[in-house]
Structure 1
Amino acid sequence: MMESINRTRPADTIQKQSELNDLIGRTQETIATGIKFNRPSEAPSSWLEISSLGRQKTIEDSWLNNIGRARILAQQAESTFDTISNGIVRTRELMVLANNETLAPQDREVIALELESLQEQFNQLTQAKDSYGGQLFHSGDPIQIRIDTDILLTPAPTQQAVSQDIDIGGGATESLDQIMTNMIAAVRTGTPADRSQQLDRAESLTDHFSNLLASQGLMVNRLDEQEDRLELSQLSFIERRSNLENTDIAEAISRFQSLLVNLEAAQRLYAQSERTSLISLIG
């Protein structure tokens, strides 16, 4: 008798109850864990998008790390140019003083000695090491750091740009060390015309390092702006992943309650079908 009854059970109703039970179980799990799915097969398109977001985030993390490194170098260069610029101000003051033709030889010697001290300081600053142990102002090709797909930046200018190719007018250039050497010689043994010419060189140094300082400030600002853009992008990734992955608890509870109602209805329908089948068999 039982085999006969079981053979007549509505397969679709049993299947529907099984599917509802599975859905209820998964919905309970999403409410408990706060995660919409645990396997790619449960939400293939969302899983693919999350994987893509993860790869892009990894790339942008590397760019943010590069920005941090570049900023350290850029700010160190900026600070160095600021120090040199202050020294150049003093150099110009000394050359103005040296152009006073009433100075005694011993007074000129005092000026020359101070200029030598400044020359030594400038040489040390332009040969400084960076925070990572390398040359701050690299010789040869500039070191570039990637901070976006199509953006490579040089956080600090080359040694050539900083201390070698200084415009002295008329299309000519001289090194910082040579300019300082010529100034010292003009103060000690030069003519008034020599000292006047070297005062012009002090003006050239002022312009040169003012331009470097301004450019370095723009570089730091650009790094700050790029960091802000990437951090906003990272927040967007987090928000989008949360929308894809995290359970909307209110929606899940509503769905859970709806599934329970559907299961109860399926169970009543199944019970009714069972009674009908049993009466038919007895009759």
Structure 2
Amino acid sequence: MVQSVNRYRAPEAVAQQIQLSQLIAKQQALVGGESRVARPSDDPKAWLEVANISQFQTNEAAWTNNLGRAETRASQAEASLNTIVSGLIRTRELLLQANSGTISPTDPESLALEVDGLASDFGDALNQRDNYGGQLFGSGPPIRVPISDGRTTVASPNLDTVREGIPVGGGATASLDEIMAATADSIRNGDGADRAAQLTALDGALNRMTQLLTQQGVVRTTLESTRDQLEQSKLSLAGRRSELSDANVTEALTRLQSLMTNLQATQAVYGQISQQNLFDYLR
């Protein structure tokens, strides 16, 4: 019958060597970059906190991506609204020029054609796509983008908010397209009363666009402050995670050297004991 090689060894010495070897392996792993809480058994409380931090960091990474997209859409929307405001101001100038009584008979058509061109520019601005391929001013309810825990934002207004239901005086409303078409027609064919009515309509459109630009300014401010908050949180979470999980390499190296010295001493003592025979014990 084959007997175990440990049958005649001192069990305490063997156990001590095994324990020291395990501790050395742990310190070597720490020196090599392993987390101090790589397993729940290392430190259950710290491991759970690190797991929660990791989940929150994942969420924040997604929010930061959403934030970037929202910032891009907000900037594009603001630029488009500025284009429309500039166009409306120019349209108002053309209408006043047409109503000045100092133009030649051929001028109204030229002025009206310029208004038609501005209306076409408005259509292009409102129908453009964002940098991600989606409609910048979408139809239906505005898209709410998650940007932090429990917070969402609308990066750009929907199409109806920009284009439809603009007050034109007397409790009536019209679309931006209708206002521009009516303005061109009043330049071509209208009289002073028609053009005065269109000035009121254009002022209503300018008021709408100015309100929307103010809202975009609020959105931009919100996005900027949220980005600052996420950046600060990113630093705080990374610092806390490092505090919980990163090994102190200097400390680990010192501990490793001490353990290896102890192991060598234990092995030397065990070697001397294992070489003794019965006569050595009887002396």
TM-score, normalised relative to structure 1: 0.81
Kindly report which structure 2 residues correspond to 1:44-193, keeping only aligned pairs within 5 A, or say none: 44-193=44-193
More helix by share: 1
Paired residue for 2:3? Answer: none
- Aligned partners of 2:169 and 2:200 also within 8 Å: no
Gaps of 5+ in 2: 1-5
Paired residue for 1:236? Answer: 236
Residue 46 of structure 1 deviates from its aligned partner by 2.7
1:205 equivalenced with 2:205 (yes/no)? yes
Distance change in 2, residues 1:279/1:254 (3 Å): farther
The one-letter code sitting in structure 2 at the alignment partner of 1:216 is: Q
- CA–CA separation in structure 1 for the residues paired with 2:260 and 2:133: 67
The one-letter code sitting in structure 2 at the alignment partner of 1:94 is: L
- CA–CA separation in structure 1 for the residues paired with 2:133 and 2:35: 46
The one-letter code sitting in structure 2 at the alignment partner of 1:142 is: P
- CA–CA separation in structure 2 for the residues paired with 1:249 and 1:156: 50
- CA–CA separation in structure 2 for the residues paired with 1:123 and 1:267: 86
Q: Number of residue pairs matched?
A: 279
- CA–CA separation in structure 2 for the residues paired with 1:135 and 1:191: 39
- Aligned partners of 1:34 and 1:249 also within 8 Å: no
Residue 248 of structure 1 deviates from its aligned partner by 0.8
- Aligned partners of 1:30 and 1:37 also within 8 Å: no
- Aligned partners of 1:145 and 1:154 also within 8 Å: yes
- CA–CA separation in structure 2 for the residues paired with 1:13 and 1:120: 91
The one-letter code sitting in structure 1 at the alignment partner of 2:236 is: S
Residue 53 of structure 1 deviates from its aligned partner by 1.8
Distance change in 2, residues 1:225/1:189 (3 Å): same
Distance change in 2, residues 1:181/1:8 (3 Å): closer
Paired residue for 1:195? Answer: 195
Distance change in 2, residues 1:193/1:259 (3 Å): same
- CA–CA separation in structure 2 for the residues paired with 1:41 and 1:94: 78
Residue 117 of structure 1 deviates from its aligned partner by 1.4
Aligned CA-pair RMSD: 3.4
Worse overlay, 251-260 or 126-135: 251-260
The one-letter code sitting in structure 2 at the alignment partner of 1:155 is: A
- Aligned partners of 1:101 and 1:192 also within 8 Å: no
The one-letter code sitting in structure 2 at the alignment partner of 1:113 is: L
The one-letter code sitting in structure 2 at the alignment partner of 1:165 is: G
1:147 alignment partner, SS class: strand
- CA–CA separation in structure 2 for the residues paired with 1:58 and 1:19: 38
Residue 222 of structure 1 deviates from its aligned partner by 1.9
- CA–CA separation in structure 2 for the residues paired with 1:29 and 1:102: 89
The one-letter code sitting in structure 2 at the alignment partner of 1:47 is: W
Distance change in 2, residues 1:169/1:151 (3 Å): farther
- CA–CA separation in structure 2 for the residues paired with 1:146 and 1:225: 14
- CA–CA separation in structure 1 for the residues paired with 2:189 and 2:158: 34
The one-letter code sitting in structure 2 at the alignment partner of 1:80 is: S
Worse overlay, 70-79 or 125-134: 125-134
Distance change in 2, residues 1:32/1:138 (3 Å): closer
2:152 alignment partner, SS class: strand
2:140 alignment partner, SS class: coil
Distance change in 2, residues 1:84/1:29 (3 Å): same
Residue 187 of structure 1 deviates from its aligned partner by 1.6
TM-score, normalised relative to structure 2: 0.81
